[in-house]
Structure 1
Amino acid sequence: MGVERGRAGLRRILEGVAFPAGRDRLVAAALEADGDEELLSALRAMPPADFYEANEVLRAVPLPEDEPDSHTESARSGERPQR
């Protein structure tokens, strides 16, 4: 599996999570799924609460909604073709 990024990646990761799940379990699932650093940081920034469904997690995670594959500028610059 490739690196999971942004909300689209988070949605794929959450499909494999048994709820309720706490922040630590969600971070572990993202690590297992090869989540990118922005996604992992966003999950770690969530409150240490139990989440009872994927939509609760999606609302709590600070990732841009309009950029499903968004990730950090440093990661994007690494993807740019070298001249």
Structure 2
Amino acid sequence: MGVERGLDGLRKVLDGLGFPLTRDEAVAAALDAGADEEIVSALRAMPNAEYNEAKEILAAVPLPEREPGSHTESARSRERGPH
């Protein structure tokens, strides 16, 4: 069972998590929730810090609908389409 993609999926992953938490704890929570590679990659790209609330994480992750130039590699591959 996976979660939605993008920011909506990330919000669902973050719902109910206890804060503060580190980047690595956020990545582990996403993996446990069945998040897709885009969300996991975006979380791994965040600065290694302690986050005190979900909105700090939402502001720190490079997801396509927020910053088109900062897509994860998997998102860029989908945009390019089949070779």
TM-score interval, normalised by the smaller of the two chains: 0.7 to 0.9
Aligned counterparts of 1:48 and 1:2: Cα–Cα separation in 2 = 25
Counterpart for residue 15 of structure 2: 15
Q: Structure 1: which amino acid aligns with 2:29? A: A
SS in 2 for 1:62: coil
**CA root-mean-square deviation:** 2.1
> Is 1:45 the equivalent of 2:42?
no
Query: Unaligned regions of 5+ residues in structure 2, if any?
Result: 67-73
Larger CA Rg, structure 1 vs 2: 1
Counterpart for residue 57 of structure 2: 57
Structure 1 runs, 4 residues or longer, greater than 4 Å off:
none
Instruction: Tell me the TM-score normalised to structure 1 length.
Output: 0.76
Aligned counterparts of 2:51 and 2:65: Cα–Cα separation in 1 = 19
Instruction: Tell me the TM-score normalised to structure 2 length.
Output: 0.76
Return the offset for 1:15.
0.6
Q: Structure 2: which amino acid aligns with 1:53? A: E
Aligned length: 72
User: Which is bigger in relative contact order (C-alpha 8 A, separation at least 6)?
Assistant: 1
Aligned counterparts of 1:11 and 1:57: Cα–Cα separation in 2 = 9
- Kindly indicate whether the alpha-carbon contact (under 8 Å) linking 2:3 and 2:13 is maintained by their aligned counterparts in 1: no
Query: Unaligned regions of 5+ residues in structure 1, if any?
Result: 78-83
Aligned counterparts of 1:24 and 1:15: Cα–Cα separation in 2 = 17
Counterpart for residue 31 of structure 1: 31
Percent of aligned positions with the same letter in both sequences?
58
- Kindly indicate whether the alpha-carbon contact (under 8 Å) linking 2:6 and 2:63 is maintained by their aligned counterparts in 1: yes
Aligned counterparts of 1:29 and 1:2: Cα–Cα separation in 2 = 12
